[in-house]
Structure 1
Amino acid sequence: MSRSQAIDSVSQAFEQGAFLSILNESVTYRTESQEPGQLLELYRYLREYVTPRVEKLGFMVAIYDNPVDGRGPLMIATRIEDPDLPTVLSYGHGDVIRGYDAQWREGLSPWRVTVEDDRWYGRGTADNKGQHLINLLALEHVIQARKGKLGYNVKLLLEMCEEDGSAGLREFCQEKRQALAADVFIASDGPRLAAARPTLFLGSRGAFNFELSVNLRDGAHHSGNWGGLLRNPGIVLANAIACLVDQNGQIQVPGLKPRTLPDPVRRALADIEVGNGPGDPDIDPEWGEPGLTPSERVFGWNTLDVLAFKTGNPEAPAHAIPGHAKAHCHIRFTVDSDYTTFIEMIRNHLDAHGFQDVDVCQTRMEVMHATRLDPDNPWVRWALKSLARTTNKKPALLPNLGGSLPNDVFADVLGLPTLWVPHSYPACSQHAPNEHLLGSVVRESLQIMAGLFWDLGEAGPALVGERSQ
């Protein structure tokens, strides 16, 4: 069979409902990793659902307990044709965010797939069951088209704790570095730039969480008796935040900004338009770092955001001056920044502006590290060519995702060039009620991955040789 026949084969399977059936079965597993009571369900998904599917494709499967007690398990599945052939490592996560069953629109359930026109609703359809299942079905049809011989080896890592911070993933990959050794990493997560535009991204921004707090006194005091005499912690904290980031969202602390916006990144983002898709919010054109385009601000720069702010009792306000105020903030940062200096930079800036009473500390949430493969890397040129050949569209190239993924584990711990081909879109409602995939994107994504997996058999040896030079 030919490349086009492999693509036609997986397209026909889609039209006949094969993928919808696969997806619906996977969604019935309530794999909510943030719920401690669902740990057995996380194991069931790997043992009962994934294992038979990949064993049918010639994979050997091993399931491991998480290095962190009580967290979701991990799977390594390997399909080795010849140790001397190139090896691709792929990845996905079978756990999902909480279902929030009561918040879904009438007629929908998070635990079954409901099709309404182009939208396929269900928890995990977009994040991430649908995405790694697209890749597995495409790989299955390429294996069949090549009569069982891909011309390369495949390793698959599935984790069941991504929605709980990927706890244990780094330690696991350090321990299993040899078992996960490969030449390139190809996986799918996150959204495309837009539903109609195939997308390739090469890493992700990092995420660093911190708290600001003001603790002036125990208890609250009547504002009529003490207003104008007692400092208000909410006002102090609001001004401290404004000292860090101004009214237009521009970071005011030089050490919290990237050192540079590299020329390859600027070139890659030159034709990237953010927003204007169905369900997208309107962009505030004056918000963020001046002098940058919207795409440069979200993919090439750092942002500081307030996620939550509390003082007093918002649910039942009283005429009293509170004693405490707290804000939870985070910084999305690029690979050009050193997050280990962030707390020191914030502390020094607050002190210099008279906010010694504002405490700052890093939260217990694990830092998501920033990564970015060079857009000029040969693997990037190969992948872009493959996507364009399959779709007859110019793919969007994002040097890194605006959000955060545990890509540093693959890029830094395992030392791999990382290619992400997302199969969702920005308005998919992941992490929210009414999560969904678009059927049209599923169909095109199956074709893209079939073409990519076919092309890897043709170009893999040369690309591996070029990397080793």
Structure 2
Amino acid sequence: MSDVSSQGRQLALQLAAQTLEEGLFIDTLTRRVRFPTESQNPDASSHLHRYLIEEIQPTLEALGFDCEIYPNPIESCPPLLIAKRIEDDALPTLLTYGHGDVTNGQAELWQAGTHPWTLSQIGEQIFGRGTADNKGQHTINLMALASVLEARQGKLGYNIKVLFEMSEEIGSKGLEHFCREHKDALQADVFLASDGPRLNAHTPTIFLGSRGVCQFRLRCETGNGDRHSGNWGGVITNPAIRLQHALASLTTADGRVTATCLRAPLPNGVAAEMMRELTIGGSASDPVLNDQWGEVQLSDGERLFGCNTLEVIALGAGDINKPIGVIPNVAEAVCHLRIVPGTDWQNLVANLTAFLEEQGLGDVKVLYDGGYNATRLDPAHPWVGFVKTSMETSLGQTVTVLPNLGGTIPNHCFADVLALPTVWMPHSYPSCKQHAPDEHLLESIVKQGLLSAAGVFWDLGEHWPS
């Protein structure tokens, strides 16, 4: 890198850091958090539209983008935005992404002095709904991009496209269809975006895809209605007991998936080696790990990122708060199967139905709610090394590479539908309390994120990964 280029890069990083130091980042995020963009709330439709029209579109237009807002392919679902900044059709193109919707605010559950729609800071924690997921993260990237444009005097040296959606928290409804429908408009060479957490608060991280997820329900309904447990107990079916046995047939008591149809090959090769070296948890705000849970022969990293897990996320029969002496008519469980590549997820309902019938539990029905496929870019891809090296140059610190995120994001839309190499550069951490009361960003991670993103956006103008 020439001295002139090195000085320009340093200027870009300095300008990005100043957005935090001088208050612009906080002011901007304060404004964005005020939008109660709850995609799970049917009454929030106007806020979802306004966030794109009043907040994101003007920001991008000020950076030289041409913007267009599109209706969602699924009727009544929130709109999407495509922004393009084309310097020359002959130049390579970066595609990036963000989502402006958030989960429900749960205002009554936040700690004193904080509120989901009012940004506040206590120590280095920056509180507000969407600070971590995803308003804070895309604000970091857009401010870093603006800093690079200023340092480069308005010319990046490549093209950039931005895709925004407003329904990620309800399963990115319509996104896959939209990407297929607008594949030409979204055509690019590489994909880089920010969502999800880094490995921990102190470790800059990139990940190359995500575990997929299948959400399904197990439901047992007798048709008897609720019946007195004394008058009818012993001669009619109790669906709660049937459901318990169905769940128990899928895993061991210590969380290992036993149903063959829900399993996938355990991690191996380069990805397994990378996962094996990872340290999981250990911070004061992290949960206590159970080394006897799941695939106990694997390391913590392999258990979290490299194999299928089945989680019961909701379970119900009767009213647990006001129980009455009846045998319930219905029992139901909502489950998340987190999946890695190699899972036969598209035949989940048929395979799981057949399995339950083999166990004599055919009266427990499988209802599929939806999901995403698992994705993982080859760690040897040049795009991985490019982003890692750029971030390490900016931060002076080793960057950890995760083959995939343990959670699930709609990466299949970019990796499979658009056929792009994908790298994610997260600006949050596992205990940020996203989706829960007291969601927050860490100021230290914001600063590293601004430097990392500015460095990558600068370096793409110097040389393109190939």
TM-score by length of 2: 0.95
| Equivalent in the alignment of 2:38 | 32
- The aligned amino acid for 1:16 is E
Higher deviation after alignment, 353-362 or 374-383: 353-362
> Once the 2 structures are TM-superposed, how far is the Cα of residue 170 of structure 1 from its aligned partner?
1.3
**2:276–2:300 CA contact under 8 A, matched in 1:** no
| Equivalent in the alignment of 1:433 | 437
**1:278–1:427 CA contact under 8 A, matched in 2:** no
| Equivalent in the alignment of 1:337 | 343
**2:35–2:51 CA contact under 8 A, matched in 1:** yes
**2:310–2:336 CA contact under 8 A, matched in 1:** yes
Distance 2:77 2:264 in 1: 34
**2:428–2:442 CA contact under 8 A, matched in 1:** yes
> Once the 2 structures are TM-superposed, how far is the Cα of residue 80 of structure 1 from its aligned partner?
0.8
Instruction: State which of 119, 130, 145 in structure 2 corresponds to 1:124.
Output: 130
- The aligned amino acid for 1:249 is G
Distance 1:417 1:128 in 2: 21
| Equivalent in the alignment of 1:160 | 166
Distance 2:229 2:189 in 1: 65
- The aligned amino acid for 1:132 is H
| Equivalent in the alignment of 2:4 | none
| Equivalent in the alignment of 1:232 | 238
**1:135–1:446 CA contact under 8 A, matched in 2:** yes
**1:343–1:360 CA contact under 8 A, matched in 2:** yes
Runs of 4+ in 1 over 4 A off after TM superposition: none
| Equivalent in the alignment of 2:397 | 393
Secondary structure (helix, strand or coil) at the match of 2:279 reads coil
Instruction: State which of 367, 370, 375 in structure 1 corresponds to 2:374.
Output: 370
CA distances 1:52-101 after superposition (whole Å, capped 9, x unpaired): 21112111111112122222111111111111111000000111112222
Instruction: State which of 358, 362, 365 in structure 2 corresponds to 1:359.
Output: 365
Higher deviation after alignment, 418-427 or 98-107: 98-107
Instruction: State which of 389, 411, 430 in structure 2 corresponds to 1:407.
Output: 411
Distance 2:329 2:147 in 1: 64
| Equivalent in the alignment of 1:75 | 81
Say whether 1:447 aligns with 2:454.
no
> Once the 2 structures are TM-superposed, how far is the Cα of residue 226 of structure 1 from its aligned partner?
4.0
Query: How many residue pairs align between the two structures?
Result: 460
Equivalent residue runs for 1:261-276 within 5 Å: 261-276=267-282
Instruction: Give the percent of matched residue pairs that are identical in Structure 1 and Structure 2.
Output: 46
**1:36–1:70 CA contact under 8 A, matched in 2:** no
- The aligned amino acid for 1:348 is A
Instruction: State which of 15, 30, 50 in structure 1 corresponds to 2:21.
Output: 15
Say whether 1:202 aligns with 2:181.
no
Change beyond 3 A, Cα 1:229–1:41: closer
Instruction: State which of 317, 328, 333 in structure 1 corresponds to 2:334.
Output: 328
Distance 2:106 2:149 in 1: 38
> Once the 2 structures are TM-superposed, how far is the Cα of residue 260 of structure 1 from its aligned partner?
4.3
Higher deviation after alignment, 411-420 or 346-355: 346-355
Say whether 1:348 aligns with 2:348.
no
**1:410–1:416 CA contact under 8 A, matched in 2:** yes
> Once the 2 structures are TM-superposed, how far is the Cα of residue 225 of structure 1 from its aligned partner?
4.2
**2:19–2:143 CA contact under 8 A, matched in 1:** no
**1:203–1:372 CA contact under 8 A, matched in 2:** yes
Equivalent residue runs for 1:135-154 within 5 Å: 135-154=141-160
- The aligned amino acid for 1:440 is S
Q: Over aligned residues, Cα RMSD in angstroms?
A: 1.6
CA distances 1:108-138 after superposition (whole Å, capped 9, x unpaired): 2211210111011111111111101100110
Instruction: State which of 418, 421, 425 in structure 2 corresponds to 1:417.
Output: 421
Instruction: State which of 424, 435, 460 in structure 2 corresponds to 1:456.
Output: 460
> Once the 2 structures are TM-superposed, how far is the Cα of residue 175 of structure 1 from its aligned partner?
1.3
Distance 2:306 2:427 in 1: 22
**1:268–1:375 CA contact under 8 A, matched in 2:** no
- The aligned amino acid for 1:417 is P
Instruction: State which of 265, 268, 291 in structure 2 corresponds to 1:259.
Output: 265
Distance 2:172 2:117 in 1: 23
| Equivalent in the alignment of 2:294 | 288
Mind listing any 5+ residue stretches in structure 1 that lack a counterpart?
A: none
Distance 1:138 1:17 in 2: 14
> Once the 2 structures are TM-superposed, how far is the Cα of residue 192 of structure 1 from its aligned partner?
1.0
- The aligned amino acid for 1:445 is G
Distance 1:421 1:72 in 2: 25
Secondary structure (helix, strand or coil) at the match of 1:158 reads strand
- The aligned amino acid for 1:424 is S
- The aligned amino acid for 1:345 is N
Say whether 1:216 aligns with 2:222.
yes
Higher deviation after alignment, 389-398 or 71-80: 389-398
Secondary structure (helix, strand or coil) at the match of 2:143 reads helix
Distance 1:429 1:290 in 2: 27
**1:210–1:328 CA contact under 8 A, matched in 2:** yes
Say whether 1:306 aligns with 2:312.
yes
- The aligned amino acid for 2:96 is S
Secondary structure (helix, strand or coil) at the match of 2:441 reads strand
Distance 1:53 1:211 in 2: 41
Secondary structure (helix, strand or coil) at the match of 2:244 reads helix
TM-score by length of 1: 0.94
**1:264–1:376 CA contact under 8 A, matched in 2:** no
> Once the 2 structures are TM-superposed, how far is the Cα of residue 14 of structure 1 from its aligned partner?
1.7
| Equivalent in the alignment of 1:89 | 95
